[in-house]
């Protein structure tokens, strides 16, 4: 990590982003576009593995004493601290830290298994340490409510992001929901093990996962040509389904269900990239 710290000496670096977080979606966008880092965009600061510039670290104790209680989660207090200072954390596409998947030490076991969005055991120095910038929309699978949503940058919101459901999200991107549904019908005809998918995963869940992936692809297209076949992108994309379903699928079946949904996610992201790219070329975007 020495090279990463040297490249970003004034930035907080959060080295673990769990696969179902908003930041995980930002990392997937960054991976598709060939970046090494993505902005942390959750309403907390992932702090399981965190590097803070020394000056920032020194000021946190006083802030916490003045602005929090013992009941406040540390990651939320850290988020509030950095937000007050206007300091934005970034997270790596190649994540060097993994969660062991056991019981949470801080009472978060109800959130289910929380693995890294893309774990790389040995993070080699990147040829460049570029950061994804200009991200104003973050697709997300709401694993509490089991539905696709999107967070749109909004300075008036407490955490800087406004949550919208998938219908308004597609409208925001100039994409009709009928187009999305038709694309899903076509994609499902190409899904291997379709019978197993239908037998084990609710059609409602399949559709919400598809919409999340489609939104992700559309946002990627807004930032440039997405690398649909890039190994880093596909690796980050492969954790979307387990990150989404970790609360409703038994842990011992999560890998199996994720594999059944993998083509849905990949095809959905690709469909979103192509749809939004065509609209941009035709001047149909907002």
pLDDT at 4 over 70: yes
CA neighbor of 145 nearest in space, from 46, 244, 268: 244
Average pLDDT over residues 211-234: 89
Question: Mind listing the pLDDT tens digit for each residue in 192-203?
Answer: 999 999 999 999
Average pLDDT over residues 93-116: 81
Statement: the pTM of the whole predicted model exceeds 0.75: yes
At 1, the pLDDT band (50, 70, 90 cuts) reads: confident
Average pLDDT over residues 71-87: 95
Partners of 50 in the beta sheet? 14
3-state secondary structure 261-274: HHHHHHHHHHHHHH
Is the dihedral angle over the CA atoms 139, 141, 144, 149 positive or is it negative?
Answer: positive
Phi, psi for residue 253 in degrees, rounded to 5: -105, -5
Q: Per-domain residue ranges for the chain?
A: 2-281
Question: Mind listing the pLDDT tens digit for each residue in 263-283?
Answer: 999 999 999 999 999 888 888
């Amino acid at each position: 990590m020495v090279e990463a710290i040297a490249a970003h000496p004034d930035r907080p670096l959060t080295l673990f982003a769990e696969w179902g977080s908003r930041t995980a979606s930002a990392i997937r966008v960054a991976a598709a576009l060939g970046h090494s880092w993505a902005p942390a965009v959750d309403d907390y600061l992932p702090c399981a593995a965190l590097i803070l510039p020394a000056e920032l670290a020194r000021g946190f104790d006083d802030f916490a004493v003045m602005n929090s209680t013992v009941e406040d989660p540390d990651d939320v207090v850290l988020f509030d601290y950095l937000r007050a200072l206007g300091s934005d954390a970034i997270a790596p596409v190649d994540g060097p830290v993994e969660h062991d998947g056991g019981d949470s030490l801080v009472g978060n076991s109800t959130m289910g298994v929380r693995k890294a969005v893309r774990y790389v055991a040995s993070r080699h120095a990147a040829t460049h340490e570029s950061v994804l910038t200009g991200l104003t929309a973050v697709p997300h699978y709401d694993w509490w409510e089991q539905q696709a949503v999107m967070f749109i940058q909004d300075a008036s919101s407490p955490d800087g992001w406004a949550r919208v459901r998938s219908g308004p999200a597609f409208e925001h991107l100039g994409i009709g929901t009928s187009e999305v549904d038709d694309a899903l019908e076509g994609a499902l005809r190409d899904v291997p093990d379709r019978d197993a998918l239908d037998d084990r995963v609710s059609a409602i869940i399949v559709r919400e996962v598809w919409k999340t992936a489609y939104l992700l692809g559309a946002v990627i297209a807004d930032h440039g040509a997405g690398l649909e076949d890039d190994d880093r992108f596909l690796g980050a994309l492969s954790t979307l389904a387990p990150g989404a379903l970790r609360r409703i699928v038994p842990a011992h079946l999560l890998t199996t269900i994720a594999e059944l949904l993998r083509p849905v996610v990949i095809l959905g992201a690709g469909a979103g990239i192509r749809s939004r790219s065509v609209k941009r070329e035709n001047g149909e975007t907002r």
